[in-house]
Amino acid sequence: MVDLDFNRATTLVASPNLGTRDNVRMVLQALGFGTIKGVGTFTRLEEEIESPDLDLLVCEAEFPDGSPADLVHAMRHNNVGCNPFLPIITFTDLPSDLLVSQVIDAGSDDVLVMPFSVEQMNRRVTTLVLSRKPFVVTSDYVGPDRRRDEARPAKRADMDTLFDVPNPLRARALGEATTEDLQQAVDAMIAQVNLSKLRRHAVQVGLLVDRILRDIETCADPAGIAADLDRLLYIARDIARRLVGTAFDHVSTLCQSLISVSERLRRDLAMPRAKDLKLMRPMSQAVQAAFDVETEVALLATEISRAVTRDQR
């Protein structure tokens, strides 16, 4: 039997209720957890997740001053916090289907229903150490793989979305790595997930542009077209953000051009300009190709950018 030493781990317990925080703290102390911090407001929770020393977050699902699910989603997408792969257990005493779905879809590792026992918590943290689920990366989700094994298609493309991410709780419990080693592993995995995310975003760009152009041509519901343009703008901006420090800087030019044209279409949806519509598909095709054919796409990106600039004069 593996000997787990949680005394080396640093845990953050977050709940708006002091009594709840104390109860969770006692459960963790009974399992031998060492440093246990507590926060009672959403603002303090946002501050504490910026600490590079956290190994586990145990967080209540609802706060009066913010949404933990939204925060976990932002953490998993590396928008906030120091470690997007931090093990996270969310707990609640009101496990509605909607709430549990929100927590799971945000990327939490596990959900516990209050009140829970020392044994229940022990099973969850032991699972996190010894058999944590690999992470899956899609355009909308980064987090533990929720699919059952038999539900996974036996395709290489599917396997490429799975990552065995750095696990600080395992590193502490088994004494496997130093803080410096762990941070290096986190940084390297962030780069891998980032590239995977970019590629999946590129696919979404193509799907959205095709649908937008089709719906404009067929005079479909303007509200649906506007929603797709908003989604396209979000993805294009996220691609541009994730390009920093990668080998695909040339795609930044494409994304800025795509953002400019999409913003004009969104603003002038009642009377879209033919030139903007004509540019949309070449831009989306170039973004999709960018992660496979760097040199040719770099030249194409420059040409498209010049075309957009000329049209703005």
- CATH number, domain of 272, equals 1.20.120
Last residue of a domain, one of 142, 177, 212: 177
Note whether residue 182 is domain-resident: no
pLDDT value of residue 304: 36
Same domain, 92 and 203: no
Same domain, 203 and 147: no
Q: Tell me: the pLDDT tens digits for 86-141? A: 999 999 998 899 999 999 999 999 999 999 999 999 999 999 999 999 999 988 89
Give the count of domains, the chain: 2
Same domain, 128 and 229: no
pLDDT value of residue 292: 62
Same domain, 62 and 109: yes
Note whether residue 302 is domain-resident: yes
Same domain, 167 and 201: no
Note whether residue 188 is domain-resident: no
Lowest mean pLDDT: which of 132-146, 170-184, 292-306?
A: 292-306
Average pLDDT (254-258) is 88
Same domain, 115 and 246: no
Same domain, 172 and 199: no
Same domain, 122 and 235: no
Q: Is the pLDDT of residue 157 over 50?
A: no
Same domain, 109 and 169: yes
Domain that holds residue 224: 194-312
pLDDT value of residue 242: 81
Same domain, 74 and 160: yes
| Residue with token string 């996974």 | 152
